[in-house]
Amino acid sequence: MKTIHFIKNYATPEQAAAAARHHAWLAAHAQPLRQPALTVIGPNSLAFERIEGRHAERGDLLRLAGQLGDAHGTAWVRDLRPVSFDEPHTFPDGVRFGDYLAVREVALRRRLEQGYLPDRGALHAMLTLLGKTAEGPTAFYKDSNPRNFLFTEDGTLFTLDTDDLTLAPFGYDLAKLIATLIMTYGPISPLVIEEALSTYNKAAGRHDSRLGTTDRERLDDFLALHCVLTAPYAGRNGYRFGWPIQRPRLQGPA
């Protein structure tokens, strides 16, 4: 049977090569995440096996939370244990991950320029919150949103669009998943969010007890960051709903 391909084009050969390396790194170090096969690496493009299915919905949150926790735990045990997320890291095979703090500091400053933060005091508040969350073991961030997961007819789960990976604390990518599910489909019960967090912690904690310790306050801090970081995408890419949970306090210090 002939394999049908999906071709993804990149602006530069460097971007295509980096995306291919990230795909290979996840395949080797985060095996709970199943990706479409990468079949051809071109100068400015990658050819992937084309998978037919549906994107993630609210009812998939617990399964996705469990898989994400398992993948983060696996990657920490296999490759991320000695890595700090407060600076970029290049692995021996050439895979490079951006750091947690600097990448998001740039993005938050851009949100002020774009008008999504009201003033410099609000920016200071968000940068302070970002610094507060920069602790604990190192996971990876792959932009877990509903469009980046695909369920086939038989229930097999594939992870898509793994071009840009950065380092991040445990729980940060789970918060992105919750935030974007809410923005796509509407409110999620606080009890379901608690259950998703518990599922994530149990899956990560099976690899090492230190990994399953994200609490609700920390998750809410991550959600507050995502509230600002995702603001430019409201009304686009399927994000039809406003932010239904309490927004972060954006006033600066007195």
Q: Which of 12-21, 29-38, 192-201 has the highest mean pLDDT?
A: 192-201
Q: What is the mean pLDDT of residues 239-252?
A: 58
Q: Which residues pair with 55 in a beta bridge?
A: 150
Which residue range(s) make up the domain with 154?
54-233
Q: What is the mean pLDDT of residues 216-235?
A: 94
E strands along 79-238, which residues? Answer: 89-90, 96-97, 138-141, 149-151, 157-159, 166-169
Does residue 39 lie in a domain region? no
Domain count, the chain: 1
pTM for the model? 0.92
Quote the pLDDT of residue 2: 52
Q: What is the mean pLDDT of residues 85-92?
A: 86
Model confidence over 142-155: pLDDT tens digits?
999 999 999 999 99
Quote the pLDDT of residue 115: 95
Q: What is the mean pLDDT of residues 104-127?
A: 96
Q: What is the mean pLDDT of residues 6-11?
A: 89
Quote the pLDDT of residue 92: 83
Question: What CA–CA distance (Å, rounded) separates 144 from 176?
Answer: 6
CATH code, 90: 3.90.1200.10
Which residue type sits at 18?
A: A
Does residue 131 lie in a domain region? yes
Does residue 252 lie in a domain region? no
Quote the pLDDT of residue 1: 43
Q: What is the rounded (10 degree) CA torsion for 159, 160, 166, 167?
A: 0
Model confidence over 165-196: pLDDT tens digits?
999 999 999 999 999 999 999 999 999 999 99
More confident site: 3 or 92: 92
